[in-house]
Amino acid sequence: MDVVTAVPTPRSEAAGSARTGRLSLAAALLCGALGAAVVLLATRQQWSEGTTTVAGGAFPLTARGSDVTGVPAALAVVGLAALVAVFAVRRAGRFAVAALLALSGAGIVTAALLGASDSAALDEQAAEASGDTSATVEALSHTAWPYVAAVGGALLLVAGLLALRYGRLWPAMSGRYERGGTAPRPRRRPAPAGPDRPEDLWKALDRGEDPTGA
C-alpha cells in the first residue's frame, strides 16, 4: 500500500512564515525594551562599596554603576534606538541596524562583567576623601547589580539576533508618506448651470460665474 505524503501548499507556508514573523517580532520587542529598561535601572544602583582611612578613622565609600562605567547606559540607549529604527529600514539597512542592536547587547554584557570587579571608581573617591593620590579603597565588596545589567544586555543581544534571523519577515513603516507617489487628483470644477434650471443659475451667480457661458 502506497503512503501518500502531504505536500505543504504555498498558502500554508505563507501562513507559517507570517506566524513566525509575528512571534519573533513580539519576542524581539519584549526582549529589547525589557533589556534596555533593566540596564538603565541597574546602572543607577550601587555596584560597589568599601572604606578608606580619613583622620585615623574609616570613611565609607559607595559607587553606582554610572560611576564605575558609562558604557552600559550609553549602549542601552543605542540599542533602544536601533530597535525602533529596525522598522524604518529594509533589506541591507535592516540587517545593519539589527547587527548594531546585537553588538550593543554584547557590549553591555562585556562592560557590566568587567565592572563587577572594578575598583577604579572607589579608588578615585578614596584619593579625594583622604587627600592622598596614592590612597586606595579598603574592604572592597560588590553587589549583584552589575550582573543584572549583564542580563539586560543579554536580552538586547537576543533581540538583535532575532532581528538578524527573522527581520526580513517583519513589517516596515508604511510608504504612503514617502515622496514620489502618484500626483494628486485635480479638483473637480462644478458643472456649468443648465439654462432650464433657474436654481442652477442663481447658484452660478452666487459663485461669481457667468451662467450663460459655454
Q: What is the pLDDT of residue 178?
A: 45
Q: List Cβ neighbours of 173 (8 Å cut-off, separation of 6 or more).
A: 87, 88
pLDDT in tens, 41-79: 999 999 999 888 887 778 889 899 999 999 999 999 999
For the chain, how many structural domains are there in total? 1
Name all contacts of 205-208 with Cβ < 8 Å and 24+ positions apart: none
Residue 125, in any domain of the structure: no
The verdict on residue 200 lying in a domain is: no
pLDDT in tens, 191-213: 554 555 556 655 666 666 665 65
- In a domain, residue 181? The reply is no
Q: Is residue 187 part of a domain?
A: no
Cα–Cα distances in angstroms (integers) from residue 38 to residues 84, 145, 195, in the given order: 17, 10, 76
Averaged pLDDT, 6-34: 77
Q: Which residues pair with 142 in a beta bridge?
A: 48
Give the residue among 166, 175, 208 at the shortest CA–CA distance from 190: 208
User: Dihedrals φ, ψ of 190, to 5°?
Assistant: -65, 145
Instruction: Write the CA distances from 121 to 38, 50, 104, integer angstroms.
Output: 22, 11, 23
The whole model's pTM is what?
0.71
- Of 172, 152, 150, 135, whose CA–CA distance to 21 is shortest? 172
Assigned domain for 40 exists = yes
Domain annotation covers residue 210: no
Q: Is residue 188 part of a domain?
A: no
Give per-residue pLDDT as tens, 138-179: 888 899 999 999 999 999 999 999 999 988 888 776 544 445
Q: Which domain holds residue 145?
A: 20-47+61-120+138-171
Average pLDDT, the chain: 81
Domain-located, residue 73 = yes
